[in-house]
Amino acid sequence: MSEHHAHIVWQKDGDFSHEGYNTAHNAEASGQSLAMATANTEQHVDPEQALAMSLASCHMLTFLALAAKKRLVVEHYEDNPIAYVEQNEDSRYYVPRIRLRPQVRFAGEVKASAIESMHHKAHQHCFISNSLQSEVIIEPQ
């Protein structure tokens, strides 16, 4: 088992009431900082985006490991993940699905079936996807 620690810091800035308050905060891990806030600000990463990024990053790293084991050289990997937020029947917000749209460029020709198989295996072995209840949709571009 391994532990992965993070640190979240929020400080009151301006008014704090039921009518509104500042949601900007910092998330820190391994000495690195990420400015975060709720989804209503464009200057910060919101938790839903961070969730999508974490899943996409885990999927990518697992995919790269699989490609390397197969002696396939990946030149470029890019993804534009989307986390969908909806309300359930109890009017609680949740993320029912996350869509990954990876674009992968290899040094040589690789069969589409091999790429699809690697994405499938990456999804099976990605510990973040194994930790989520959300549906994960993978649409290679």
- The predicted model scores a pTM of 0.87
| Dist CA 60 CA 52 (whole Å) | 12
Task: Give 66-71's long-range contacts (Cβ < 8 A, gap of 24+).
Answer: 66/118, 66/121, 66/122, 66/125, 67/106, 67/118, 70/114, 70/118
The residue whose two tokens read 């810091």 is 9
- List, for residues 40-61, the tens digit of each pLDDT value: 667 788 889 999 999 999 999 9
What is the predicted pLDDT for the residue at 45? 86
Of 24-33, 35-44, 45-54, give the range with the top mean pLDDT: 45-54
Tokens representing residue 120 in the block: 């499938």
Which residue would you say has higher pLDDT here, 130 or 28?
130
Could you tell me where in the chain the CATH 3.30.300.20 domains are found?
Answer: 47-138
Q: Do residues 37 and 25 touch, judged by C-beta distance below 8 A?
A: yes
- List, for residues 91-114, the tens digit of each pLDDT value: 999 999 999 999 999 999 999 999
The residue whose two tokens read 């091999």 is 114
pLDDT, mean of residues 111-130: 97
Burial class (CB in 10 A: 0-12, 13-18, 19+), 93: exposed
Q: How confident is the model at residue 34 (pLDDT cuts 50, 70, 90)?
A: confident
Mean pLDDT, rounded, of the chain: 92
Give the rounded percent of residues in the chain with a pLDDT score beyond 90: 67
- List, for residues 2-16, the tens digit of each pLDDT value: 888 888 888 888 899
Q: Is 27 helix (H, G, I), strand (E, B) or coil?
A: strand
CATH classification (class only), 47-138: alpha beta
Residue 21 has pLDDT above 70, yes or no: yes
